[in-house]
């Protein structure tokens, strides 16, 4: 009897654990667009295999060998079950409600999850069938249950891929229907389509352009957040495109060569905005030249009389403009040393209400301001301004509208408090963004300037050097620096030492909470705190199962 | 003795206005105050998308936290612009929910500006509050000022700017605004012409801020109104209602923290507390019936408020907002809310004679029925002759 209860307790815990795990893996499977090749590559590169669940069950097995009695089994099962539940529901957050890119429970996700979980649950519940006949052998149920548990913990990604495969014919039919339906809506509404791509900045530029066009030239459709795939755009078109939409701003993500081309076939652009062609996601493309080729597909797709607006500060975006002559070719940016610019900004300064600037366009000066902070945000706004003007907006009015651009979540947002103010740059940090944030920190009024950061990640070979370089730069701006965690601690400390930053003003914290507690104790009136790359995100960068 | 049949009232609220939530708050208060012995209430919620729903769940404040997900649990209805239906039509089976009188509890566009009133007229049903013309005229701040000025009501100078003019030539528009007669100095107030509440309002302190302030208005409205800013200001509000004649309430002085009431201050401040539920206009920090106010000002406010309400042809309960330039002692009409937040009941319960919220609603409905009966008795002999000749 006790053996049966033991087995049932453990099975229930394993099944509950498996459900949460199915969702956790599904989040990344969804981000990889249910593509098995990309998902496997992601699992490999992140070593995203189950360790916690298997370890708990393995320990249970070992303990069971050492203490074979049925009373001991019961305790072992109880302890393992509790640990599994704590791991799945305590330590690991709900992928639907936590994290930077959450699991979106679409119809497809729900179906995939249930089919995969169904398969896992059958394996997990297998010992139940054995219960009746094997109750005489006291030890068999727990051993079998734990082994089945380990098997399903390891097989979760495979079950998801198999589920996707099983559902694929029906899914393809449904996708085809959605795709055609979106195509039909697009043909009926017939908006002027502007495609946006770039290695970074495209989401910010899309929001700025969508807003500016709506205010200056006409009602504009644009998918919110960073929706940039055929399926994502299909869904948004079906849900929110309306007959009054005169323009459509479509962000086009390049996942490999050909993906922008497919997007351009879906929503053929008459104009394109290229924010940057960098070397991000190099591992996906193989070489910088392939990145350029992939991004160039947007320019290739433009009609002869089309409009191509490129960021002149990015050498490869400039090259794209030179190699693709269209009806209108415009370059924007800050840096005139890289060549002529049709639209550029000077006299940039920051205050607590945003960024002031002077835009130079077609020989005229337009002083203005925007609530957005930092050069990357201003660069995006500048691209949006240039495109809006190319589409007929009156420059002076477009500049006035820049004064009301809505902020993009978590990208250098000033949170003003009565005593202490915070500059939050929680979005996945990169060297350009970090530099821009330091620049803003330097220029805003404050009694003391404080930096809290765990440093930047996912920079490959450059990680140590870049973190060290930015730390050196931060040393010249900050009065106090909180170094969070161990990931980049050495690099940051080396950078600070090189800049002779006083050791007494460097605070080393193991965790984000520790850093914030110390900060709260030591804060003073007039402090301005830059939170660069929130630790939550850093942890998320390193997935652990 | 048989029980008298209760009058069936549809309370309509929500709607496609930026003040959607405020309307829900007003309506929930109102439905609590309505006399259940006399009236049978049918709540009708118009979702932000414009669909109409009814069901008793709408009486619970907690219901609105989960909109739109839980709209499915309600009955979708509509009002057909067809005389003789005398009720709401269920979309599921075209059957009718009989209604005797409609009580629109909307703030802002589509509900307070003559739109829904037009639908009531088409359907030939009794409804509370102002009619089509009065509602439309009072919602358009510029038209209202021009109209009242004609009737000798003191108003501040104003300039109207259209979105399309600004899009074409913002510099020209700014020049035109700055050279408006009566705009002697900055700052200026720039606000949406057709919206209630305080959304989109800016105080322009320097000339170069005017263009972005206009651009901000044009996110919400096609017309912007520019007015001079009275620096040393006191606001005075007064409610006026129609019930066997026109009556004014006591006056109130709303207390503003930052010079101009923002949307948050007006509706989210919760009577000065930062947390807790908002009770809408009823919770704003204010001084009702201030005893130390100059009686001349008080009398002028009451006289002008009553006269304005009358010449605009308003009905139901309205609130008129005035400002006093403390430097000169001059009184100006600012705006009229055809259906004010919380129905201004907090002013009426302090008035002489005292009017309870329940009575206020009761009187509104009685008046609506009288107006409808009067309109029905008008000679509308449609001569079907021309086409038969």
What is the model's pTM? 0.78
Q: What is the pLDDT of residues A351-365, one digit of tens each?
A: 888 999 999 999 999
- CA A88 to each of CA A485, B238, B296, B319: distance values in angstroms, whole numbers, following the listed order: 24, 60, 72, 57
What is the per-residue pLDDT for A238?
Answer: 95
B344 pLDDT higher than 70: yes
Q: What is the pLDDT of residues A27-67, one digit of tens each?
A: 999 888 888 998 998 888 778 889 999 999 999 999 988 88
d(CA A426, CA B344) in angstroms, rounded, equals 45
Q: CB within 8 A of B263, min separation 6: which ones?
A: B197, B198, B199
- pLDDT over 90 percentage in chain A: 56
What single string gives the DSSP state of each residue in A298-366?
A: HHHTS-TT-EEEEETTSHHHHHHHHH---SEEEEEES-GGGS--SEEEEEEEEETTEEEEEEEETTEEE
Residue A109, helix vs strand vs coil: helix
Q: Hunting for tokens 């849900």 — which residue is that?
A: A239
Question: How does strand B52-54 pair with strand B75-78?
Answer: antiparallel
Q: Which of residues 203-232 of B touch A (CB under 8 A)?
A: 208, 211-212, 214-216, 218-219
Q: Hunting for tokens 């009966």 — which residue is that?
A: B373
- Model ipTM? 0.76
B1 pLDDT higher than 50: no
Adjacency order of strands within the sheet including A307-311:
A220-221, A247-251, A192-197, A271-274, A307-311, A328-333, A343-351, A354-361, A364-370
In CATH terms, A190-402 corresponds, of 3.40.640.10, 3.40.50.800, 3.40.50.150, 3.40.1190.10, to: 3.40.1190.10
Task: For residue A273, name the pLDDT band (cuts at 50, 70, 90).
Answer: very high
Adjacency order of strands within the sheet including B39-46:
B96-98, B87-90, B75-78, B52-54, B39-46, B7-14, B101-104
Task: Please name the residue of chain A whose CA is at the shortest distance from the CA of residue B219.
Answer: A215
For chain B, what are the domain ranges? 7-127, 159-228, 232-374
Both structure tokens of A104: 């979106």
CB of B171 less than 8 A from some CB of A: yes
d(CA A346, CA B320) in angstroms, rounded, equals 48
In CATH, the number for domain B7-127 is: 3.40.50.20
- CA A361 to each of CA A32, A119, A392: distance values in angstroms, whole numbers, following the listed order: 41, 62, 13
Task: Please name the residue of chain B whose CA is at the shortest distance from the CA of residue A400.
Answer: B212
Q: What is the pLDDT of residues A62-90, one digit of tens each?
A: 998 888 887 888 888 889 999 999 988 88
Enumerate the CATH 3.90.190.20 domain ranges in chain A, comma separated: 413-541
Estimate the crossing angle of helix A36-46 against helix A2-31, to 10 degrees.
110
A409 Cα to chain B: minimum distance (Å): 20
Q: Lowest mean pLDDT: which of A281-295, A383-397, B72-86?
A: A281-295
Mean pLDDT of chain A: 88
d(CA A207, CA A213) in angstroms, rounded, equals 10
What is the per-residue pLDDT for A77?
Answer: 87
Fold of B232-374: D-amino Acid Aminotransferase; Chain A, domain 1 (3.30.470)
d(CA A88, CA A21) in angstroms, rounded, equals 7
Residue A114, helix vs strand vs coil: helix
Enumerate the CATH 3.40.1190.10 domain ranges in chain A, comma separated: 190-402
Q: What is the pLDDT of residues B21-69, one digit of tens each?
A: 999 999 999 999 999 999 999 999 999 999 999 999 999 999 999 888 8
A365 Cα to chain B: minimum distance (Å): 13
Paired with B331 in beta bridges are B324
Sort out which chain B residues have CB atoms less than 8 A from A403's CB and list them: 211-212, 215-216
B139 Cα to chain A: minimum distance (Å): 23
Q: Hunting for tokens 């263009």 — which residue is that?
A: B211
- CA B77 to each of CA B19, B55, B74, B80, B92: distance values in angstroms, whole numbers, following the listed order: 22, 10, 9, 10, 8
Sort out which chain B residues have CB atoms less than 8 A from A402's CB and list them: 212
Fold of B159-228: Dna Ligase; domain 1 (3.30.1490)
Task: For residue A8, name the pLDDT band (cuts at 50, 70, 90).
Answer: confident
Q: Do B212 and A368 touch (CB under 8 A)?
A: yes
What is the per-residue pLDDT for A407?
Answer: 82
What single string gives the DSSP state of each residue in A422-439?
A: EEEE-S---HHHHHHHHH
In CATH terms, A413-541 corresponds, of 3.90.1150.10, 3.40.50.150, 3.90.190.20, 1.10.645.10, to: 3.90.190.20
B220 Cα to chain A: minimum distance (Å): 10
d(CA B328, CA A461) in angstroms, rounded, equals 72
Paired with A197 in beta bridges are A274
Q: Do B215 and A397 touch (CB under 8 A)?
A: yes
What is the per-residue pLDDT for B389?
Answer: 63
């Amino acid at each position: 009897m006790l053996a049966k209860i033991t087995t049932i307790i453990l099975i229930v815990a394993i099944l509950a654990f498996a459900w949460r795990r199915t969702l956790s893996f599904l989040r990344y499977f969804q981000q990889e667009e249910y593509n098995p090749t990309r998902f496997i590559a992601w699992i490999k590169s992140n070593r995203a295999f189950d360790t916690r669940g298997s370890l708990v069950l393995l320990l249970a097995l070992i303990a069971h060998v050492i203490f074979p009695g049925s009373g001991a089994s019961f305790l072992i099962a109880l302890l393992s079950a509790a640990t599994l539940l704590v791991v799945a529901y305590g330590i690991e957050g709900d992928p639907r409600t936590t994290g930077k890119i959450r699991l979106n429970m679409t119809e497809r996700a729900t179906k995939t999850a249930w089919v995969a979980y169904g398969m896992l649950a059958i394996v997990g519940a297998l010992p139940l069938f054995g219960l009746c006949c094997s109750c005489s052998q006291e030890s068999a149920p727990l051993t079998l249950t734990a082994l089945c548990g380990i098997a399903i913990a390891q097989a979760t990604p495979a079950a998801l891929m198999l589920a996707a495969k099983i559902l694929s014919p029906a899914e393809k039919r449904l996708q085809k229907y959605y795709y055609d339906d979106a195509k039909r809506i697009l043909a009926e509404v017939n908006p002027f389509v502007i495609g946006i791509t770039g290695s970074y900045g495209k989401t910010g530029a899309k929001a700025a352009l969508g807003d500016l066009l709506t205010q200056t030239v006409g009602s504009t459709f644009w998918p919110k957040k960073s929706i940039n795939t055929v399926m994502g755009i299909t869904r948004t078109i079906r849900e929110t495109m309306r007959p009054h939409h005169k323009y459509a701003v479509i962000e086009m993500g390049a996942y490999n060569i050909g993906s922008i081309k497919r997007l351009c076939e879906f929503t053929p652009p008459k104009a394109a905005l290229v924010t940057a062609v960098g070397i991000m996601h190099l591992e996906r493309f193989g070489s910088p030249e392939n990145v350029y080729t992939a991004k160039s597909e947007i320019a290739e797709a433009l009609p002869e009389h089309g409009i191509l607006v490129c960021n002149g500060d990015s050498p490869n975006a400039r090259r794209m403009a030179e190699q693709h002559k269209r009806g209108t070719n415009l370059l924007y940016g800050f840096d005139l040393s890289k060549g002529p610019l049709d639209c550029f900004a000077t006299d940039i300064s920051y205050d607590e209400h945003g960024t002031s600037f002077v835009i130079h366009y077609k020989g005229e000066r337009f002083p203005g301001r925007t609530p957005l902070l930092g050069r990357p945000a201003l660069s995006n706004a500048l691209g949006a301004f240039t495109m809006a003007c190319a589409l007929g907006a009156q420059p002076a009015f477009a500049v006035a509208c820049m004064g009301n651009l809505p902020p993009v979540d978590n990208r250098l947002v000033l949170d003003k408090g009565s005593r202490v103010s915070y500059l939050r740059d929680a979005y996945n940090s990169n060297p350009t963004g970090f530099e821009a944030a330091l620049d803003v920190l330097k220029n805003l009024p404050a009694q003391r300037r404080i930096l809290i950061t765990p440093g930047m990640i996912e920079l490959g070979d450059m990680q140590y050097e870049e973190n060290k370089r930015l730390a050196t730069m931060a040393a010249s701006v900050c009065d106090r620096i909180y170094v969070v965690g161990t990931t980049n601690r050495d690099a940051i400390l080396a950078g600070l030492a090189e800049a002779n930053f006083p050791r007494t003003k460097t605070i080393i914290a193991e965790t984000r909470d520790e850093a914030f507690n110390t900060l709260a104790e030591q804060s003073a009136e007039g402090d301005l705190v830059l939170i660069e790359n929130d630790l939550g995100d850093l942890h998320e960068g390193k997935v652990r199962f | 003795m048989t029980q008298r049949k209760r009058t069936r009232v549809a309370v309509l609220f929500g709607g496609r206005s930026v003040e959607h939530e405020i309307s829900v708050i007003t309506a929930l208060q109102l439905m609590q105050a309505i006399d259940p012995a006399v009236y049978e209430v049918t709540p009708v919620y118009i979702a932000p998308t414009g669909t109409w729903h009814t069901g008793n769940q709408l009486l619970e404040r907690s219901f609105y936290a989960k909109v739109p997900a839980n709209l499915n649990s309600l009955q979708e209805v509509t009002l057909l612009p067809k005389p003789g239906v005398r009720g709401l039509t269920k979309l599921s089976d075209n059957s009718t929910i009989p209604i005797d009188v409609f009580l629109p509890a909307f703030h802002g566009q589509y509900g307070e500006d003559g739109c829904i009133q037009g639908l009531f007229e088409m359907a030939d049903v009794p409804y509370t509050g102002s009619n089509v013309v009065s509602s439309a005229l009072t919602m358009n701040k510029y038209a209202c000022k021009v109209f009242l000025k004609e009737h000798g009501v003191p108003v501040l100078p104003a300039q109207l700017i259209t979105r399309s003019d600004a899009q074409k030539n913002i510099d020209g528009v700014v020049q035109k605004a700055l050279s408006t007669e009566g705009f002697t100095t900055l700052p200026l107030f720039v606000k949406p012409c057709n919206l209630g509440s305080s959304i989109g309002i800016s105080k322009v302190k320097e000339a170069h801020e005017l263009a972005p302030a206009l651009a901000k208005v044009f996110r919400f409205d096609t017309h912007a109104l520019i007015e001079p800013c009275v620096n040393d200001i006191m606001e005075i509000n007064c409610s006026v209602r129609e019930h066997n004649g026109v009556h004014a309430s006591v006056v109130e002085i709303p207390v503003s923290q930052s010079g101009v009431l923002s949307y948050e201050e007006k509706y989210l401040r919760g009577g000065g507390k930062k947390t807790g539920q908002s009770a809408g206009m009823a919770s704003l920090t204010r001084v009702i019936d201030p005893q130390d106010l100059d009686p001349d000002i008080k009398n002028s406010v009451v006289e002008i408020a009553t006269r304005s309400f009358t010449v605009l042809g308003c009905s139901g309960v309205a609130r008129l907002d005035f400002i006093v330039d403390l430097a000169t002692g001059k009184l100006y009409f600012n705006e009229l809310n055809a259906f004010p937040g919380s129905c201004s009941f907090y002013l009426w319960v302090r008035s002489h004679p005292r009017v309870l919220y329940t009575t206020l609603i009761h009187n509104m409905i009685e008046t609506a029925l009288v107006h409808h009966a009067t309109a029905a008795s008008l000679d509308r002999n449609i001569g079907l002759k021309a086409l038969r000749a």
